[in-house]
Chain A
Amino acid sequence: MHKNANATKGMEEMDKITLRAACSVFALAVAAPTAAYANDELIEMQSDPKNWVMQLGNYSATRYSELEEINADNVGDLQVAWTFSTGVLRGHEGGPLVIDGVMYVHTPFPNKVFALDLNDSGRIIWSYEPQQDPNVIPVMCCDTVNRGVAYGDGKIILHQADTNVVALDAETGEELWKVANGDPSKGETGTMSPLIAGDKVLVGNSGGEFGVQGHMTAYNLETGEQEWRAYSVGPDDQILLDPQETTHLGEPVGENSSVDTWEGDQWQLGGGTVWGWVSYDPELNLVYYGSGNPGTWNPSQRPGDNKWSMTIFARDLDTGMAKWVYQMTPHDEWDYDGVNENMLVDIEIDGEERKVLVHPDRNGFAYTLDRETGELLVAEKYDPAVNWATEVVMDPESEEYGRPQVVAEYSTEQNGVDVNSEGICPAALGTKDQQPSSFSPETGLFYIPTNHVCMDYEPFQVSYTAGQPYVGATLSMYPAPDSHGGMGNFIAWDAAAGEIVWSKEEPFSVWSGALATAGDIVFYGTLEGYLKAVDMESGEELYRFKTPSGIIGNVTTYEHEGKQYIAVLSGIGGWAGIGLAAGLTEGTDGLGAVGAYASLSDYTQLGGQLTVFALPGEAGGASDMDAGAEEDSDE
């Protein structure tokens, strides 16, 4: 059997990269943390590919699975095994968790949670629906999405739209504790998925378009008590950084590193919200996440670097103190939030094995940093369309070290208030938004869902009113000009070299989280509603199935009773859903650019459905499976 025609072809590649990553994720996953916690089980559980215990698959945020029953040879035979309607017609981000025969499915507002019995055709074991003030709905910029629940120590943690964090008994759905993480009347909301690490629940806030002060908070998993809160902007003691010990590119940040980069007390409306993904290195006991845009999209209204918005934070899990920070987009002029996932892998760079963090940022640069020290190793564009900056300066001797070199033509600050800056790439959506990437230790490559969208951006003066939008810019978005005409690409990225290995064009942004598996394939969803599987080596499409609505959820895999399944939520919405209803009926007369996503309504409608896929035949691979392909690695 040519179990994988590409495998041979791939071997050369494999040699070249010296399997440099093979030891990474899993080495991390089994390493014992320094202290014993009730949920050390999570470290154990995430190494069992039968389960899917956290949104990004593991603490390293790689969304990779060892399962290989479904592989490049047979994925073309994939079929729908069963489906489940969530009953909610809003944008469905995130994905289900699977823990020992039970699947936990969440929904956007009103944030229902269902526990489904995989031993009984997905029967609902329990469901939970919180009571929330509907007035939180319009405070949520870009739809009422939720990026999924977390599991730890027999609890399901739900982060509600109204910022309440709730612990539910995983067996019964009983509410164990509940704590408010913010104030929706000021525009603070909840969309991000919490991460459970050690004995803590880590959760941030949303509301970057409402002038809130972004923060990350650690709650005790057992009691819900707040253990620490670290703001992104403000005085040193609020940010939890040490002027001498906390570093930025190897140098101490010094005193008042944030407030000195704002005019007056503007930092109080400074944004830097924390609504993306969190990863964790148990060996270093550091958690990693990024902060969002600075308050108001009109850069002239907030002179300075606006630290520490647009920043990756590495914090000690126990104390919350920042070990290092790195600001990717000082003084943002384009809404390039720094919240995207930070994938923790060990790869070889310049002949040396490095513990790195890989972060494909909204601003169109993919960054590789030493995750222990915050040293900047690679910063390269991962979409050739990116034009707002020429490069990130890599010379440590330069005064501009680590800073993007902004192109004046695309600087909305330099062009000024009430001027429409045209042709900026990427758009405010970023080359990538929250949709998480995947990493395969086999190829050593990162699989990144991207946007291929550019914009015009006109900043103007705005006033702040608590709980009201604080934006201050008019945007038009459209497919990247002089390209393939589509608004997305799905790419394979070499984070050591900083190069695109292959790129697959998509008509719309790829707003779905990727999943790479040991079956030599990568899955992702599309805004038209397709679940797609592509060859890991070449990007060649091997399978597609059209689900009932557009996919902005993340693809998940698990094994149940000896059979591998693929699961994904459909339900168009989120930022990508704005403009869905906008048809092209009026044509484009006098219009250089049509609103991005304008024709999506030709393909899909609202939905809220889980679709679960499997190969035909009984468990164990009796019919269509290759001998030898059904072995699971179970450690």
Chain B
Amino acid sequence: MRLMSKAAVLIGGAVMLSLGAAGAQEEAEGDNWEDKPYIIEDGKVDYGVYNGFRRYHNTCHTCHGPDAMGSTFAPALVESLKDMSYADFTETVVNGRQSSGAGGSTSVMPSFGENPDVMLYIDHIYAYLKARADGEVARGRPERLDPENDPVFQEYQESQ
């Protein structure tokens, strides 16, 4: 669980509950997981991206909009994740963020550091958003890879 320790250092004292699988994929592919945290074959996505889609649309989309397209009061993560590092992403999700502008346009993102529905799946949500930002996943519900050909799913199952 390399990612786990990485995130834990970033977060400092914040509570970390646990973390879904993602590490094996990085090693299996030899790429930098943070840059390309997904496997997509013939338009079908790995379990991480798929579950990230679900979990994003459970918690995040009420502000950041369907398909990470943004809303009248929160930025489009399909854009934000083009420049945002994994470290900045987890830091923001765990600790929240606040900004103020004129006319009462204060924007506040809460801390999700203690929310298991987010923290258990933060790598999945990251993978989904990164795939969206990279233009690799279209809007709507992505189609899953066959579980037998999905190392991310297999690792996730083993971790449960």
> Which residues of A pack against B, CB within 8 Å?
87-91, 107, 109-110, 112, 134-135, 137-139, 141-144, 209, 420, 456, 458, 460, 462-463, 465, 467-469, 471-477, 572-573, 577-583, 586-596, 598, 606, 608
Contact mask for chain B residues 107-124; partner A; CB cutoff 8 A; 1 contact, 0 none: 111101011111000000
Closest residue to B106 on the A side, CB-wise?
Answer: A134
B65, CB-defined interface residue at 8 Å: yes
Contact mask for chain B residues 3-43; partner A; CB cutoff 8 A; 1 contact, 0 none: 00000000000000000000000000000000000000001
Find out whether the CB atom of A582 lies under 8 angstroms from the CB atom of B70: yes
Q: Whole-angstrom distance from the CB of B70 to the nearest CB of chain A? A: 4
Give the residues in chain A near B57, CB-CB below 8 Å.
474-476
Give the residues in chain A near B91, CB-CB below 8 Å.
none
Give the residues in chain A near B62, CB-CB below 8 Å.
141-142, 209, 469, 471, 578
Find out whether the CB atom of B72 lies under 8 angstroms from the CB atom of A577: yes
B82-90, B134-142, B147-155: which lies at the A interface? Answer: B134-142
What are the 7 tightest A-B residue pairs by CB atom distance, in nearest-first order?
Answer: A582-B69, A577-B72, A581-B70, A595-B66, A591-B140, A474-B57, A138-B110
B95, CB-defined interface residue at 8 Å: no
Find out whether the CB atom of A463 lies under 8 angstroms from the CB atom of B104: no
Find out whether the CB atom of B108 lies under 8 angstroms from the CB atom of A90: no
Find out whether the CB atom of B141 lies under 8 angstroms from the CB atom of A90: no
**Tally of A-B Cβ pairs under 8 angstroms:** 145
In angstroms, Cα B100 to Cα A589, docked, is: 37
B61, CB-defined interface residue at 8 Å: yes
A591's partner among B53, B65, B118, B138 (CB-CB below 8 A) is B138
Closest residue to B76 on the A side, CB-wise?
Answer: A581
In angstroms, Cα B115 to Cα A462, docked, is: 10
Find out whether the CB atom of A592 lies under 8 angstroms from the CB atom of B76: no
User: What would 19 more interface pairs be, CB under 8 Å, given A469-B115, A591-B140?
Assistant: A87-B104, A90-B105, A134-B100, A134-B108, A143-B71, A143-B73, A144-B73, A465-B116, A468-B59, A468-B118, A469-B117, A471-B58, A472-B117, A474-B54, A573-B73, A577-B73, A579-B66, A582-B139, A590-B138
Q: Whole-angstrom distance from the CB of B19 to the nearest CB of chain A? A: 15
Find out whether the CB atom of B76 lies under 8 angstroms from the CB atom of A90: no
In angstroms, Cα B107 to Cα A578, docked, is: 15
Give the residues in chain A near B114, CB-CB below 8 Å.
465, 468
Give the residues in chain B near A592, CB-CB below 8 Å.
140
B67, CB-defined interface residue at 8 Å: yes
Give the residues in chain A near B106, CB-CB below 8 Å.
109-110, 134, 137
Q: Whole-angstrom distance from the CB of A109 to the nearest CB of chain B? A: 7
In angstroms, Cα B63 to Cα A426, docked, is: 22
B159, CB-defined interface residue at 8 Å: no
Find out whether the CB atom of A420 lies under 8 angstroms from the CB atom of B141: yes
Find out whether the CB atom of B104 lies under 8 angstroms from the CB atom of A581: no
In angstroms, Cα B62 to Cα A579, docked, is: 9
Give the residues in chain B near A580, CB-CB below 8 Å.
65, 71-72
Q: Whole-angstrom distance from the CB of A138 to the nearest CB of chain B? A: 4
Give the residues in chain A near B139, CB-CB below 8 Å.
582, 586, 588, 591, 594-595
Find out whether the CB atom of B110 lies under 8 angstroms from the CB atom of A135: yes
Find out whether the CB atom of A139 lies under 8 angstroms from the CB atom of B110: yes
- Tally of B interface residues using CB under 8 Å: 40
Q: Whole-angstrom distance from the CB of A263 to the nearest CB of chain B? A: 20
Q: Whole-angstrom distance from the CB of B121 to the nearest CB of chain A? A: 10
Closest residue to B98 on the A side, CB-wise?
Answer: A134
Closest residue to A468 on the B side, CB-wise?
Answer: B115
Find out whether the CB atom of A460 lies under 8 angstroms from the CB atom of B54: yes
Find out whether the CB atom of A90 lies under 8 angstroms from the CB atom of B73: yes
Find out whether the CB atom of B58 lies under 8 angstroms from the CB atom of A460: yes
In angstroms, Cα B147 to Cα A448, docked, is: 47
Find out whether the CB atom of B58 lies under 8 angstroms from the CB atom of A473: yes
Find out whether the CB atom of A135 lies under 8 angstroms from the CB atom of B108: yes
Give the residues in chain A near B104, CB-CB below 8 Å.
87-88, 90, 107, 109-110, 112
Closest residue to A469 on the B side, CB-wise?
Answer: B59
Q: Whole-angstrom distance from the CB of A521 to the nearest CB of chain B? A: 30
In angstroms, Cα B65 to Cα A598, docked, is: 10
In angstroms, Cα B54 to Cα A471, docked, is: 11
- Among B43, B58, B96, chain A packs the most CB atoms within 10 A around the CB of B58
Find out whether the CB atom of A577 lies under 8 angstroms from the CB atom of B108: no
Q: Whole-angstrom distance from the CB of B120 to the nearest CB of chain A? A: 8
B71's partner among A209, A460, A581, A591 (CB-CB below 8 A) is A581
Find out whether the CB atom of B108 lies under 8 angstroms from the CB atom of A469: no
In angstroms, Cα B50 to Cα A420, docked, is: 13
Find out whether the CB atom of B72 lies under 8 angstroms from the CB atom of A606: yes
A469's partner among B58, B67, B141 (CB-CB below 8 A) is B58
Find out whether the CB atom of B72 lies under 8 angstroms from the CB atom of A90: yes
Give the residues in chain A near B110, CB-CB below 8 Å.
135, 138-139, 467-468
In angstroms, Cα B118 to Cα A209, docked, is: 15
Q: Whole-angstrom distance from the CB of B122 to the nearest CB of chain A? A: 14
Q: Whole-angstrom distance from the CB of B12 to the nearest CB of chain A? A: 20
Find out whether the CB atom of A579 lies under 8 angstroms from the CB atom of B105: no
- Among A209, A581, A591, chain B packs the most CB atoms within 10 A around the CB of A581
Closest residue to A467 on the B side, CB-wise?
Answer: B110
Find out whether the CB atom of A456 lies under 8 angstroms from the CB atom of B72: no
A476's partner among B98, B105, B115, B140 (CB-CB below 8 A) is B140
Q: Whole-angstrom distance from the CB of B9 to the nearest CB of chain A? A: 23
In angstroms, Cα B53 to Cα A572, docked, is: 26
Give the residues in chain A near B67, CB-CB below 8 Å.
582, 595
Q: Whole-angstrom distance from the CB of A325 to the nearest CB of chain B? A: 29
Closest residue to A297 on the B side, CB-wise?
Answer: B58
Q: Whole-angstrom distance from the CB of B84 to the nearest CB of chain A? A: 17
Cross-chain pairs A/B with CB under 8 angstroms, 23 sampled: A87-B103, A87-B104, A90-B73, A109-B104, A143-B71, A143-B73, A209-B62, A458-B54, A462-B58, A467-B110, A468-B112, A468-B117, A474-B57, A476-B57, A578-B63, A580-B72, A581-B69, A582-B76, A586-B138, A590-B140, A598-B66, A598-B69, A606-B72
A472's partner among B58, B108, B116, B118 (CB-CB below 8 A) is B58
Give the residues in chain B near A456, CB-CB below 8 Å.
141
In angstroms, Cα B103 to Cα A144, docked, is: 14
Given that A135-B110, A586-B139 are contacting pairs, would A579 and B69 also be in contact in the complex, using a CB cutoff of 8 Å?
yes
- Among A134, A138, A465, A596, chain B packs the most CB atoms within 10 A around the CB of A138
Give the residues in chain B near A596, CB-CB below 8 Å.
66
Find out whether the CB atom of B65 lies under 8 angstroms from the CB atom of A578: yes
In angstroms, Cα B141 to Cα A320, docked, is: 46
In angstroms, Cα B41 to Cα A153, docked, is: 68
Q: Whole-angstrom distance from the CB of A191 to the nearest CB of chain B? A: 14
Give the residues in chain B near A598, CB-CB below 8 Å.
66, 69
Find out whether the CB atom of B58 lies under 8 angstroms from the CB atom of A463: no
In angstroms, Cα B110 to Cα A581, docked, is: 21
In angstroms, Cα B132 to Cα A476, docked, is: 16
- Among B53, B54, B72, B98, chain A packs the most CB atoms within 10 A around the CB of B72
B108's partner among A89, A138, A573 (CB-CB below 8 A) is A138
Q: Whole-angstrom distance from the CB of A287 to the nearest CB of chain B? A: 30
Give the residues in chain A near B43, CB-CB below 8 Å.
590
Given that A579-B71, A582-B70 are contacting pairs, would A138 and B115 also be in contact in the complex, using a CB cutoff of 8 Å?
no
- Among A110, A472, A595, chain B packs the most CB atoms within 10 A around the CB of A595
